[in-house]
Chains A and B, each alone.
Chain A
Amino acid sequence: MSTTKDFIIEQLKSEISGYKAEISEKSVGKVLKVSDGIALISGLAEAMMSEILMFKTEEGEVAGVALNLEENQVGAIILGDYTAIKEGDEVHATKRILEVPVGEAVIGRVLNPLGEPLDGKGKVETTKFYPIEKIAPGVITRESVKQPVQTGIKAIDAMIPIGRGQRELIIGDRQLGKTAIAIDTIINQKGQNMKCIYVAIGQKESKVAGIVAKLQEAGAMDYTTVVLAGASTSASLLYIAPYAGCAMAEYFLDKGEDVLIIYDDLSKHAVSYREISLLLRRPPGREAYPGDVFYLHSRLLERACKLNKDFGGGSITALPIIETQAGDLSAYIPTNVISITDGQIFLEPDLFYKGNRPAVNAGLSVSRVGSSAQIKAMKKVAGKMRLEAAQYRELAAFAQFGSDLDPETKKKLDRGQRLYEIFKQDQYQPLAVAKQVLVYYALINGFMDNVPVDKVREFEIGLYKYADLNDEALKMITEKKELSEEIENKIKKLIEDYKATVDYLIK
């Protein structure tokens, strides 16, 4: 037996005699000043940019990050409890850049921006760490966006298609359903081979708790991570939250997987960065934001990408959210982010209060990637439909003034009214792409012209139910992703059969 007492003691003795206390030289500084989550430190001559600094306080160690390297002092943001830090406390540099835990273990978790759990499920069990700041992938590693992200929202998938690797801004006033679009999109990613990361920046914790509960209910937490920096968190954590979320996404990107990341919202992120910058005494510019506020968002959103086959073929799709004040798109942060992203989904209060929800303004919303991020079947119906929508908007404004309309115009207006009825969609009810194709096909081919406008939604819901019962056509669309003549005939027959069962058609 090798595990006798003597053996163990012998081993212990040899271990002890071989033990050497490791001491290494540390670069240290002293706290000159602490205020509002910011510390000024003297010494620390060898500190690196965004290096983790440890403050030795009476209540244990507190972490910070070096942000300002000056001739005689270092400015740092404090990530823990800054009230524990006192003037004269010792600070040492760790020679590590700020990093977060990444890996499969983060999925299904609610974490703070440092990767610490907020859901009471214990520590994140992973050995991998990624730095939160990373330079975005270069030109040779990328390729153009071509696969769709199905949001499950009819108005968006048809008119403002989003591709994997795209950056699409969701912009609008408060309470118009910006987050709802993002959450519906996450719910719809079930079975689409997509990991989701929802970064809540400065959101009410009650709201986030509601979102997490909803995601759990929909089974979406199986592939989703929530990074939460709530409204009561310090500006320094709000500032690093989106970068931390992006680092977690990059792990899956490097594995060649597709990731969807939502930054909710970047206007609060900009505000927290403004707070830090002003406290660090960086000069304020327009709206008191510092000079590098554009770079703040551009370097973050540039990390969204579609990599080509040689580099794993993964993608990060970013859906940043911006909250405007009274629809002011020309404020500083909205214009910045609009110019960085590949298009925006613009939500409008007028539409919202008229009951058109989601309140997507089809005229001001664009996707610069365009139809290359749609499946063939959708491309076929959406092209015609977009034209109908545009014509309707034009005519509707004009037709308000007169009642005598020629039959051609009347027909277009009727068609448009029905189209806008179809755009209406309840929250948490994302729709499969095959069903979207089905309903749009019914509309543009005139099958719905004799359905009364107030019955359109009823008709639509019935159509889906009927199609579920006879799901051959839907299956074929999902598999082939195109509209061959065979499939078209099947759809036509399906719609006609269904219409024979309803009794409210206009004769």
Chain B
Amino acid sequence: MKISAQQYAKSLYDLVADKPEKEVKVALKNFVALLGRNRELNKASEIINVFTALWNKEHGEVTAELISARELGPTAREIVTNYLKERTGAKKITLNEEIDQKLIGGFVLRYESKVLDGSLKTSLEDLKNKISN
């Protein structure tokens, strides 16, 4: 049976979790050798993605993407961070900020499989849909 990227990532996590650096190095070496032997090195990027998600979940870390029309100030950032902490119960929040002027105003926040869309662009589109229907 083929081993899925999820299964690889899960076993990798079990291997390296709470281990000293030396052991991790050996484990990683063996893991890559296994991937090579199974001819599944092409799954590497997917495994890394899943592994990151798994690691974040276990350690209470949330990576969120914050897209805004203009550069955000520290207060806005803090509000978002607090909101995420409250919603997810995470201890550490990593915000990846991005500027996208197409949004016109407001922001879009993405985390896990959720989206909080407060952009002016979407509001206008919704308004357009409501009026045209």
The reply to whether A25 and B116 form a contact with Cβ atoms under 8 Å apart is yes
Complex Cα spacing A494 to B6, Å? 85
Looking at B6, B112, B115, B116, the one whose CB has the most chain A CB atoms below 10 A away is: B115
A21–B87 Cα distance when bound, in Å, is: 21
Q: Mark B12-38, 1 if CB is under 8 A from A, else 0.
A: 000000000000000000000000000
Contact A23 B113 (CB under 8 A): no
Complex interface residues of chain A between 465 and 503 (CB less than 8 A to chain B): none
A27 within 8 Å of B by Cβ?
Answer: yes
The reply to whether the CB of A92 lies closer than 8 angstroms to some CB of chain B is yes
Residue of A nearest to B120 (CB): A21
Instruction: Write out the residue numbers on chain A whose beta carbons fall within 8 Å of the beta carbon of B87.
Output: 25
Q: Is A27 touching B113 in the complex (CB atoms < 8 A)?
A: yes
Q: Within A414-436, which residues are at the interface with B (CB < 8 Å)?
A: none
In the complex, the answer to whether A26 meets B118 with C-beta atoms within 8 Å is no
Scan residues 109-127 of chain B and give those whose CB is less than 8 A from a CB of chain A: 110, 112-118, 123
B113 adjacent to A21 (CB under 8 Å)? no
Q: Which of A58-106 contact B (CB under 8 A)?
A: 72, 90, 92
Nearest Cβ in chain A — how far from B14, in angstroms?
18
**Minimum CB–CB distance for B104 against chain A, Å:** 12
| CB <8 Å contact, B6 and A26 | no
CB <8 Å contact, B116 and A43: no
Of all chain A residues, the one with the shortest Cβ separation from B4 is A72
Question: Which of B6, B87, B110, B117 has the most chain A CB atoms inside 10 A of its CB?
Answer: B117
Judging by beta carbons under 8 Å apart, are B118 and A23 in contact?
A: yes
The complex places the Cα of A92 from the Cα of B126 at a distance, in Å, of 14
- Using known A-B contacts A21-B123, A72-B6, determine if residue A92 contacts B115 with beta carbons closer than 8 Å: yes
**Contact indicator A26/B117 (Cβ below 8 Å):** yes
Bound complex: CA A46 to CA B123 (Å): 24
With beta carbons under 8 angstroms apart, the residue of B106, B115, B123 that contacts A26 is B115
Interface residues of B in 66-109 (CB under 8 A from A): 87, 106
Q: Which of A21, A28, A72, A90 has a CB less than 8 Å from the CB of B114?
A: A28
Interface size class of B (residues with CB under 8 A): 10 to 19
Identify which of residues 1-49 in chain A touch chain B, using a CB-to-CB cut-off of 8 Å: 21, 23-29, 43-46
Q: Give Cα A21–Cα B112 distance, bound, in whole angstroms.
A: 24
The chain B residue sitting closest to A21, CB to CB, is B123
- Asked if B123 contacts A27 (CB within 8 A), the reply is no
**Chain A: which residue is nearest B133 at the CB level?**
A123
CB-defined contacts of A28 to chain B, threshold 8 Å: 110, 113-115
A25 pairs with B114, CB closer than 8 A: yes
Chain A residue with Cβ nearest B119: A23
Q: Which residues of A lie under 8 Å from residue B118 when comparing CB positions?
A: 21, 23
Nearest-neighbour CB distance to chain B for A11, whole angstroms, equals 19
> Could you tell me if A43 and B113 are in contact, using CB atoms closer than 8 angstroms?
yes
* Chain B residues with CB under 8 A of A43: 113
CA of A474 to CA of B28 in the docked complex: distance in angstroms? Answer: 93
A46 to B114, CA, bound (A): 10
**Cα distance, A72 to B110, chains bound together (Å):** 18
* Contact residues in B for A26 (Cβ distance below 8 Å): 114-117
| A29: B residues at CB distance < 8 A | 113
Closest to B107 in A: A23
Instruction: Tell me which residues across on chain B come within 8 A of A27, comparing CB atoms.
Output: 113-114
Docked Cα-Cα span, A380 to B112, in Å, equals 72
List chain B residues, Cβ under 8 A from A23.
116-118, 123
A432 to chain B, nearest CB (A): 47
* Chain B positions within 8 Å of A90 at CB level: 115
B102 to chain A, nearest CB (A): 14
User: Cβ of B110: which chain A residues have Cβ within 8 Å of it?
Assistant: 28
* Bound form: Cα–Cα A217–B117 in Å: 53
CB of B63 to closest CB in A, whole Å: 15
Q: Which of B106, B113, B117, B118 gathers most chain A CB within 10 Å?
A: B113
Q: Residues 247-282 of chain A: 1 if any B CB is under 8 Å from the residue's CB, otherwise 0? A: 000000000000000000000000000000000000
Q: Which residues of A contact B113 (CB under 8 A)?
A: 27-29, 43-46
4 more A-B contacts (CB under 8 A) besides A21-B106, A23-B123, A90-B115?
A25-B116, A26-B116, A72-B6, A92-B115
Partner-B contacts on A (CB < 8 A): 21, 23-29, 43-46, 72, 90, 92
3 nearest CB pairs, A to B = A43-B113, A23-B118, A28-B115
In the complex, 22 of the A-B residue pairs with CB atoms within 8 angstroms, ordered by the A residue number, are A21-B118, A21-B123, A23-B117, A25-B87, A25-B114, A25-B116, A26-B114, A26-B115, A26-B116, A26-B117, A27-B113, A28-B110, A28-B113, A28-B115, A29-B113, A43-B113, A44-B113, A45-B113, A46-B113, A72-B6, A90-B115, A92-B115
